[in-house]
Amino acid sequence: MTTITTPAPPVRMRRAAVWALGALAAATGTLESVVTPTLPLLQRELSMSRAEGALLSVAMLITGALVAPVAGSLGDRHGGKRVMVRLMAVVCAGGLVSALAPGLPVLLLGQVLQGAMVGAMPLSFILVRKYLPAGESQVAIGVVSGLFVGGGMLGTLIAGPVAEGLSRHWLFAIPTSVVAAATLCVRRLMPDDAPAGSDARIDWPGLVLLSGILLTLMLGLSMAPEVGARPLALGALALLLAALVTGWVRVERRSPAPMVDLSLVARPGIWSAYVITFAVCVGTAVSMYLVPQLFDVSADGYGFGASSTDIGRYLLPGTVAAAVSGPLGGVAARRFGASAVVAAGIAVMSATLVALAFVHGEVWHLVVGKALIALASGVCVTAMVVRTATSVGHGDTGTATSLVLVTRVIGFAAGAQISGAFLTAGTGPGADVPAESAFVTGFLVAGVVTALSLFVVRTLSKGDKE
């Protein structure tokens, strides 16, 4: 007698598991965002220069740029859940170090460890694509992305009151405890995903070379505020970067299991998404860095003398706009197409940045401008993430989306460091406040860089057709 075995139904992710991923995204978004509105306060308490403040604002992003591609690749091969839980343990350790930091060096160490949180997003996308149908996975990606931005909104709102009412240490302790709790929920509610392709060896040479590329790039960006003082060092870093990139490309082409499939990156619809994401994030980062600094400048000059609480309140509309931009970008992309939505977002963002260069004499000018930039940027980046996640095979989800996030990180780091360079160059000998022209130059350069990405949108359209 023949026994017929009925195959087990596919495992589906429960709604509670999706919301657990969303809660983790919100908690990490909160932890990521508390530095920006309190940066002037941290600069005063820790006696930091503006260049050191710019470095602190991107320290977390430096680790994120290193961790995201590794996390995405390991998640594709060994299971998103197990990699995510281990990654969040590093984030919690970093949050604890930041909370207990007595000074800038230890705080920088904590921020570096916290940067591992960037790897959580591609791992979330791996899980939702594995356990949900295509339509539902797009919604889930939008939910997770939106809650991450919503967490950033909450962090922006509470950062000033917490830092001024309690202390800077609680800025990191409170969201870190929530990250730990959300991680436990994910571990309990998320299905255990079996490793896919776990027999593949890790591309250690490619990993080492990519890490060297990103570290060299970030080191060069961190030296941007002092470009005039150390041109030879920057030139040497540029040559080292070129050598590392050349070596990495050769290694990845010859590897039987490359960490990054270069043929995937070479697709017009993929590489154009990375270029657009970089340019948009440069413009966004410039506004994120310059606007709080402009609010902080004394009201006796051209600034407003705002406190950290005031700065957080002024930035709140922009964070709300960023939170709304996620679902708005997804809906608009489905209705009008990703290319049209991205082109409209770039146009709005570029025009706003240029306008801020000449019109920033009132608080509401900056509040409205920052909100428009956040909305346009969020629409563009969300469209790029969702489009990239759903245009590749399941086995490439983590790698492809992690590279979008790495590009985002590099764009933010570049924008912040360029802004710091402009303010440093605009501060005369013996002066504490940069000239107003430094802010004008920063906004104009950001507007031009963002506008140039419009030339790549046509390539993105070709990728959509393919």
Kindly report the pTM of this predicted structure: 0.70
Contacts of 449 (CB under 8 A, 6+ apart): 279, 282, 283
CB atoms within 10 A of CB 188: 10
Q: Are 144 and 21 in contact (CB under 8 A)?
A: yes
CB atoms within 10 A of CB 198: 10
Q: At what angle do helices 363-390 and 134-165 cross, to 10 degrees?
A: 150
- Burial of residue 431 (CB within 10 Å: 0-12, 13-18, 19+) is exposed
Contacts of 396 (CB under 8 A, 6+ apart): 76, 261, 264
Q: Are 168 and 38 in contact (CB under 8 A)?
A: yes
* Domain residue ranges of the chain, discontinuous segments joined by +: 15-192+259-465, 204-258
* Tokens 């965002």 -> residue: 33
- Tens digit of pLDDT at every position of the chain (466 positions): 444 443 334 455 667 777 888 888 888 888 877 877 777 777 777 777 666 676 676 677 667 767 777 776 676 666 677 788 888 888 899 888 888 888 778 888 888 888 878 777 777 777 777 777 655 666 677 677 767 777 777 777 777 788 777 877 888 888 888 899 988 988 888 777 666 554 556 667 877 787 788 778 767 766 665 656 667 777 788 888 889 888 888 887 887 767 666 777 777 777 888 888 889 989 988 888 888 888 888 877 788 888 767 877 887 788 778 777 766 776 777 677 778 888 899 999 999 999 999 998 888 999 999 999 988 988 888 777 777 766 666 556 666 767 777 787 778 878 877 887 788 778 777 777 888 888 999 999 999 999 998 888 877 665 554 5
**How far apart are the C-alpha atoms of 383 and 332, rounded to whole Å?**
9
- DSSP code for 449: H
**How far apart are the C-alpha atoms of 374 and 380, rounded to whole Å?**
10
**Which tokens belong to 428?**
């005369």
**How far apart are the C-alpha atoms of 272 and 457, rounded to whole Å?**
7
The number of C-alpha atoms within 13 Å of 107 and in the hemisphere containing its C-beta is 23
CB atoms within 10 A of CB 351: 15
Q: Are 280 and 325 in contact (CB under 8 A)?
A: no
- CATH fold group of domain 15-192+259-465: Growth Hormone; Chain: A; (1.20.1250)
**How far apart are the C-alpha atoms of 85 and 180, rounded to whole Å?**
10
CA-to-CA separations, 321 to 149, 326, 327, 448, in angstroms, rounded: 9, 9, 11, 23
